[in-house]
Structure formats: C-alpha cells, structure tokens
Structure 1
Amino acid sequence: MFKRALICTDFSDSLQRLANFVPELAKGGLEHIVFFHSVPLMTSREIPCADEDKINAARQLLAAAEASVPVGVTVEIDIASGRGNENIIRAVKKHQPDVIFSGMATRSALNERVFGSTTMDIVDKVDVPMLVLRPQLMATYREGELAQRCQHMFDYLLVPYDGSDSAKKILADIKAKLQADPDCALATCLLCWVIDDGSRFTTNTPEAAQKALDQAKAEIEGLGTEIKTEVLTEIRTGNPLEEVLRSGETHDISAIAICPGKNSGLFKLTVPSFTSALLRASWHPVIHFPRQK
C-alpha cells in the first residue's frame, strides 16, 4: 500500500527500534525507507551551532538500518539540526515519502496544549498520510512481536465511514493506492458506520447506512478482479469514538484509517474533533490521511 516511508524518531518514542527490522518492513511492502532524527542546536555558545557529538551518536544508533538491506530496497539515515517540526517538514519535501511514521503518547487535549505534541503540530502541515504509533507499545514489543508487526503494518484497515466528504476522501485515497498497486499489502478493508445514539441531529437509519456502505464497497470491488482486497462492512450504534475502538478490539485489524473534516474557527475550538480524539485515545496504530483541500 505504501512504498516510501519516512520514519521520524526522537529516540524517546522507541521508533528507532525499527532500524533493526528493515527486512520485515520490506516484506510489508516498503521499498524506500528513511530514518530521520532531529538534533536541537547547541545554545550554550554565543552563536547556536550543530551538536556534532549528538549527531554522530544518533547516526550510530540508527546504523543497524543499513546492516541488512534486502535487494531492491533503499535505506537512508537523515540527521538534521534545528527545530524538530521544521526539519520534519523539510525532510518530507526532500525524500518525498508516501507515508510518515511518527510516535505519539496518549494524552489529554489539555496536556497536549501545555506540553506540546510534535505529531499534532505537523499532522495538518504535510500532505502525506501519517502512521501514528504508540511509544508505550513500541517499547514493550518483544523482537518477535515487533517483527510480525512490521510485516503486517498495513494488512487490515478499519475505516470509520459515514458518507461524509472526509469519509469519501479516504475511500478515494485507498482506491488510488489499490489502483496503483493491485498486489499491495492491504488484504482487508473494514468500513464501519456508527449511528450516534447521543446526537439529536442524526437522521441515519441502519437501512440508509447499509445502503451507503454497500455503495462504498462496490466502488472498491468495481476496480476490477485484479484487486485482491476483501471489503467488509459493519454498522454499530452508540458513541462513535467508543464504538470504533470496540470494533478495533473485535476485529484483527492492523490500523485505523482516518481523515479529518473541514471544521474550522469557533466550531473547531469548542467541539471535540473525532479525528483528534481518536489520535489521542487509540492504542491501535492510526493512519491519518491528509484533509481534503
């Protein structure tokens, strides 16, 4: 599904462990892998400058990535100096990845505003899907578990689908990926529609939801017999966030795929975003597709 990955790590998120699993990442479909780390400038001197000691230490820590590279796979190590957020955006322009790996700890929106989050800072600034992984899990996986995870990173996607423009956008993105690579790693795509029983404004019925899901399923299946991806649908009733997370627990998914809507201004500040809430709450990997322009 994805061929070119930019794996961003600050060494506190445990994503640097992936440097030991390049062959497994390649089995998951990746052909070009860049490991990226940003080192803050030294400010102890009159003129801020690059910290060469930390740069060399970072390069050594990621050197394992170049030790066992399968034929047909390219691996690069990119160490930059300066502000992490700005350097990641530059790295995206430089390496042209089709997916970015980033670590993000579970935390509340308040903690995020106080302490900051590199992932949340850049997620809407890059026009590239971002795979968000939990540092707590990356740190605790045993080597065999992490090897399996790397091979099956994109096998089974859970897609919250409600017929909205953002839902149609993510469906279009997935269709484009499948058309470009019919033999990609995506074996199963589960479209999950949640009827919000706590909303006074919902007009959805199970019948209408199923009809929309069937149409979405037909769009993928209509790509041709060369597409091997199985498309499943389900309807749930309840709180959308809670039900999507329960669906992830019920099914053998690899990741949850989401795309933000166009909420802006006062509405964005006062009403919790489903996308942001899922990014903060899900222990499953989350693939954040860029919002519709």
Structure 2
Amino acid sequence: MFQRVLICTDFADGLHRLTGFVSSLALAGMKQIVFLHAVPLWEKGIIPRVDNEKIEQAQTRLAKTLGESSTDVEVKIEVLSGKSVDIILKVAQNYQSQLIILGSQSRNLLTEKLVGSTMADLSHKTTIPLLVLRPQLISTYTAEELTLRCQHLFRSLLLPYNGTPAANYLVQQVKQLAQQQSARYVQACTLCWVLETTGNRSLPQKISPQQAQQSLSEIKTDLEKLNLQVETEVREGSTVTQILEAATMADISAIALSSATIGTAQEWLISSFAAELLRFSWYPVLFFPPQRR
C-alpha cells in the first residue's frame, strides 16, 4: 500500500491539521510521512530571494502541532522556497514518496485555465498517485471525525468504469494496491458504469445496460480473487451527477480516477469527466496519473 507519503499544505487547505493525526495515518499503512510547505520567493527586490522569515514561521507552525507518533513511523517536516510544483516533485523524489496528498479548491474551468492547478501540473510531471482532499471538508471535521477519516482513507473505493483504456488502467492500479497491501487497507470497491444520456432517447446507446453489467461482472470476479468485497452498478444520466450519487449511496471513502486529459488543451475544449469530478466532488479523489511513454 502507500507506506511513504508526502502531505503538501499551504495552510489555507486545512491539511496542516494532519500533523496531529500521525498515529491515525499509521493505521492506514503509512510508515513515512513528510509534511511539506512551499514558501514563494520574496520578490520585492530586483532579484527574487528566499524568504527565510516565512520559512522559519512555517517550520515552527508545523512542528508545534505535530502529534506524537509510534516509533515505527518516520515523520519529517520540509519547508522550502520556490515554485510549489517543482518543490513537490523534488521532495517526492528525495523521499521516494508513493503517494502525494494535497488540497484542491473548488474552481470552474475558466478560473483553472487562468490561474492553473497544482494537481493538473503534477499529473503531467509524475506517475505518483495523488490523493486530492477538499479543504473545506478537512477544516470542518472534528478531531474524532478526522481520526476515523485518517484511519480509513482507502477502505472503500468507488471506481467509475466505462470500458475505456483509462478505466482499464484504473482497475489495474487498484488491483496492484490490493496485491501489495500488507493488511486490508482497501477492503471494498464499487464499480459504477454510467451510460451517458444526451436527452434524445431516440438515439441508440453505444452499449446496452446488460452489456455494461456483464463487463462489470467479469471485473468483479477478478477483483474478488484479491479478497476485496466488490459491488457493481449500472446507471443512466449525467456521468458526474450519477457518480456522486453512487458515492453517497455506497458509503465510500474515496473516488478513484485516471485520465490523460486533465490540464491539457483538449480539456479546455471539451471538459473531461475526471476534471469535472475533481471540481465538484466533496469526496477525496485518488488520482492515478497515466504512465509516461
């Protein structure tokens, strides 16, 4: 499972709260946890320079809230100055991180196009899985709620599936997680195929509900061999709406996704399902970047 984890926080995303829940994160299988904060370069002068004052303030802030951890969990604090994406990639490489956790504000497509997205940038520069958490949710959890959330980050996953290469790649990644985990951190998953409706019922669907269910049943059989509890469901309607409804009814911990179009010119022309889900989902999203060729 994910034993070496990098948690990135800008303090506005609420993720710095996780410094007080190291023991709970250890119950999700984490053995090494690195808390990272990127400080922008100080650009008031002619030449940008490292803002040592803000670095010291951030280090103090993270260390102050760092809770006691069991002896088998290695905890590090890293505060560096520069561009956040570059720093994240550097630290992830240094610590050989297997998962990067970061927050994501709810934005529309135009805002994201103008200001950019750290998650979108990272998805094109790393193959390390990304766990995207909604800051408003993390900030409002009570300590008791956050304790349970940290313990069960990956217990039940929702996998949107539609027979595409990206969907098949997603299933393969979840299979690898199940095969590699030393304990049952991932216990269950729900496969959901949404047959997108255009509003014109006279147009034939590319695949029937029966065909979709048959495909899901075959994947279910394969995943159940890995000691996973698997449910399948076929829905009709708007893909994003139906997936979020399925997540609510299935009592899931996170939605798992993969896509090769997030942050690309193709997405600006036709917004992808994965990008839309990342914008609107209040559920944690476990994103698997595509393999680089």
* TM-score of the superposed pair, with normalisation by structure 2: 0.92
Q: Which moved more, 1:120-129 or 1:255-264?
A: 255-264
Identity of aligned residues (%): 38
Give the aligned partner of residue 284 of structure 1. 283
For 1:272, the aligned partner's letter is: S
Structure 1 residue ranges without an equivalent (≥5): none
- Per-residue deviation, 1:62: 1.2
CA deviations 1:169-220 (Å, max 9, x no partner) are: 0111111111112523001111111111228574111111111101111222
The equivalences for 1:121-132 within 5 A come to 121-132=121-132
Q: Which moved more, 1:250-259 or 1:67-76?
A: 67-76
CA deviations 1:42-78 (Å, max 9, x no partner) are: 2233433221111111111111565412121111111
CA deviations 1:134-164 (Å, max 9, x no partner) are: 1111111111111111111111000001121
The equivalences for 1:1-293 within 5 A come to 1-64=1-64, 66-181=66-181, 183-198=183-198, 202-222=205-225, 227-261=226-260, 267-293=266-292
Equivalent pair of 1:21/1:65 in contact (CA under 8 Å): no
Structure 2 residue ranges without an equivalent (≥5): none
Q: Secondary structure at the match of 1:132?
A: strand
Equivalent pair of 1:259/1:289 in contact (CA under 8 Å): yes
Provide closer, same or farther for how the CA distance between residues 140 and 34 of structure 1 changes in structure 2, counting only shifts above 3 A.
Answer: same
- Per-residue deviation, 1:269: 3.4
Q: Secondary structure at the match of 1:87?
A: helix
Q: Secondary structure at the match of 1:190?
A: strand
Task: Report the Cα distance in structure 1 between the residues aligned to 2:87 and 2:175, rounded to whole angstroms.
Answer: 31
* TM-score of the superposed pair, with normalisation by structure 1: 0.92
Equivalent pair of 1:217/1:232 in contact (CA under 8 Å): yes
Equivalent pair of 1:104/1:135 in contact (CA under 8 Å): yes
CA deviations 1:83-141 (Å, max 9, x no partner) are: 11211111221122111111011110111123332222222221111011111111111
Q: Which moved more, 1:178-187 or 1:2-11?
A: 178-187
Q: Which moved more, 1:60-69 or 1:177-186?
A: 60-69
- Per-residue deviation, 1:7: 0.3
| Aligned residues: CA RMSD | 2.0
How many residues are treated as equivalent by the alignment? Answer: 289
